[in-house]
Every structure is written in C-alpha cells, then in structure tokens.
Amino acid sequence: MEEVLIDFEKAGGLVPAIVQDWKTGDVLMVAYMNAESWAKTRETGKACFWSRSRRKLWLKGETSGHVQIVREAYLDCDGDALLLKVEQLGGAACHTGYRSCFYRKIGEQGVEIVGERVFDPKEVYGG
C-alpha cells in the first residue's frame, strides 16, 4: 500500500471533496478540505470541511443534524481531490432542504429545479 499523500499546497491549502451518496451514487455536494479538516474527518468518520466563507472548520450537519458518515474515501490521480462516499443522515445534504446541492438542471433556456426537497430550511435552521 502507498502512503496517503494529499497535495493540499497546489491550491492554497485546500482540495475539493466531492460527496456522493454511498448507495445511490448521487452526487450530493462539493466542499473543500484543508489538512486539519481531513484529519478531523479521518478521526471522527464524519465529513468535516473548511468553510471558505466563514474561514473555519465546518463539521457538516453540526446545526442541522444532517451529518455525513464517511463509508469510503478515494484520492484522485494527482492527489489533489477527494471523493467521499457517505451515508447522509436526515436525507438531505443541501442547506436549502434539497437532497443534493445539484438540484438545478441547466437547459437551453435556463435552470430548472429538478431536485427533491426533503426539509424546510426554516424548520431546521430557524426562520
């Protein structure tokens, strides 16, 4: 086995982590990890990212309870991207209440909502 060498330095300390439902294969979201959030993810088995807007560690689901249990993790050929296969607690990954953050399909004329809304954000995060 080779060592897990993640190239965090290539893009300023962050790598994208694609989150995929481990059973359905649906892509749920993409977020960013730094070395610390990756270590936390490994340690806890729950997806932990780096929030670029809040500039702090972000344990996914900390507020909503919609934690992601990491079932499998993969590293790409260049060592600068991660793929996590997760069990999404609460059924939805997106803060808007949709199952996947990619709930808008791009068509010729514009975007169309095709995703499934699982919860009402007002009830989860407060109105």
Query: In terms of CB distance, is 107 or 126 closer to a second copy?
Result: 107
Indicate the residue type of 40: K
Tokens of 32: 């960013």
Angle, CA 59 vertex, CA 27 and CA 10 arms, to 5°: 70
Which of 110, 123, 126, 127 is in the footprint of a second copy by CB under 8 A? 110
Binding mask 31-50 for a second copy (x = CB under 8 A): --------------------
- Cα distance between residue 67 and residue 4, in whole Å: 24
Alpha carbon of 110 to those of 98, 106, 107: distances in Å? Answer: 19, 6, 5
Given the structure tokens 């919609």, which residue do they identify?
Answer: 66
Which of 105, 116, 120, 125 is in the footprint of a second copy by CB under 8 A? 105
Query: In terms of CB distance, is 4 or 91 closer to a second copy?
Result: 4
Binding mask 74-103 for a second copy (x = CB under 8 A): xxxxx--x-x----------xxx-x--xxx
